[in-house]
Amino acid sequence: MEGIFVRQAIEGALPPPTGVTPNFVNPPSIAKYNVICQIVCMPVTTVFVCIRLYTRCFIHRKITGDDYACIVAWLGSLIYSGMALSLNQYGAGMHQWDVPAADIKKFGKLVYMTQMLYGPEVFATKVTILLLLSRVFGVKENMLWAVRVLIGFMALYYVPATIVKMFICWPVAHFWDPLAIKGSCLNENSIYLADCAMSIISDITILFLPISMIWRLKTRTMRKIGVSAVFGAGILACTASVLRLYETLHLGGTLDKTYGLVPILLWSIAEINIGIICGCLPILPSFIKKTFSAIPDSNDSTENGIYCRMERMSKPKRDIDDSIMQTQTRPEDSNERLPLGQSTIVQVNLGDNTWQGGGIMKMVEIDQRI
């Protein structure tokens, strides 16, 4: 198969089926679904990302690696959606025999760029969620190792896959201009199928990775269900990946690429944007509590934020050790409230002895956040 575009006819980019007359004036098209998808995805995802960044900067007052990865994924999604919209100008959504031959080259160049961007964009989206999991559940070494292995596994796929896509045809220009430039291409559909398989495997793994940790937390069952539901929203991304696989299998049996590529593109955009939103959902309760709740700040109110509770219960010991060196121990009988965004270490003695003379002593870190 020479590129995704077959030999151009004199009038259209593909000879029409028997009995079909090309329509260059008002052809049937599904391009409107492309427009609707971008109108929904871009602003909704942007709102969630802005909420996440506001919460991390002004409420948690701390920016970490997963926040930077989220920004990269979000910017990439905007570029990807912009390319998808641009495809409409060159026949996306129309049957290829209704697309003028002069437009198919520009269409092919944009398709080439979108498939180059897809791998890095999906990788950044999944890394955002994995880094969040490593921070929230970082106290568990097996979680840290699982995250590292999965990131490494995805990198071993997406880096070579992107290079293969870069040189999918040789010369490269043969991809979008197979008539003027002679050359050969790999089987694009096989690469698309490999992308789908990798997305489904990684989505399912990321979906179930935190579940076992959540149900071992010492908290109420309803809270566990609520936290599981937040992380379980990733099942929507899994669904988008499966539907993308279905459309990819369907595309393999057709030469009508300008029409057949659109559903694949839309499910790819849905998968990416759902992934970014899922990476923002655990932070959302903190924003809601701080912005909309009239309940006075207290230690108990901290328990109401899903994200904050998960982070506090799972905080690595090394962070506690560092904070011991930087904070002072408050007296046990102190009723002073801890200011928001700060932490302290409280000494709790069990028994009659003091910590100099034996007995049992426990240092408890209190981290007041909303």
Mean pLDDT by 10 residues, the chain (370 residues): 48 84 90 96 98 94 95 98 96 93 92 96 97 84 91 97 95 90 90 94 91 78 81 89 92 86 95 96 90 54 43 46 35 43 47 42 48
Enumerate the β-bridge partners of residue 29.
Answer: 94
- Whole-angstrom distance, CA of residue 266 vs CA of residue 284: 26
Calculate the alpha carbon distances from 59 to 50, 121, 300, 339, 356 in Å: 13, 28, 17, 12, 38
State pTM to two decimals: 0.78
17: preceding bond cis by omega (within 30 degrees): no
- Whole-angstrom distance, CA of residue 173 vs CA of residue 224: 53
3-state percent breakdown (helix, strand, coil) of the chain, nearest 5: 65, 5, 30
Mean pLDDT of the chain: 80
- Whole-angstrom distance, CA of residue 12 vs CA of residue 103: 9
pLDDT tens-place string over residues 220-238: 888 878 778 888 888 999 9
pLDDT tens-place string over residues 117-173: 999 999 999 999 999 999 888 767 888 999 999 999 999 999 999 999 999 999 999
Report the relative pairing of strands 343-350 and 184-185 from DSSP bridges.
unpaired
Locate the DSSP E strands across the chain.
169-170, 184-185, 329-330, 343-350, 360-367
- Whole-angstrom distance, CA of residue 91 vs CA of residue 111: 12
The alpha carbon dihedral of 116, 122, 123, 125 has a sign of positive
Which tokens belong to 192?
């698309």
The answer to whether the CB of 245 falls within 8 A of the CB of 229 is no
pLDDT tens-place string over residues 145-154: 999 999 999 9
The answer to whether the CB of 13 falls within 8 A of the CB of 258 is yes
Nearest Cα to Cα of residue 240 among 277, 196, 290: 196
Q: How many CA atoms lie within 13 A of 83 on its CB side?
A: 22
User: Which DSSP letter does residue 57 get?
Assistant: I
Mind listing the domains of the chain with CATH numbers?
31-287 (1.20.1070), 316-370 (no CATH)
Q: How does DSSP assign 83-145, residue by residue?
A: HHHHHGGGTTTB-GGGSBHHHHHHHHHHHHHHHHHHHHHHHHHHHHHHHHHHHHTTT-HHHHH
Please give the share of the chain, as a percent, with pLDDT higher than 90. 54
- Whole-angstrom distance, CA of residue 273 vs CA of residue 205: 18
Q: How far apart are the first and last CA of the chain?
A: 57
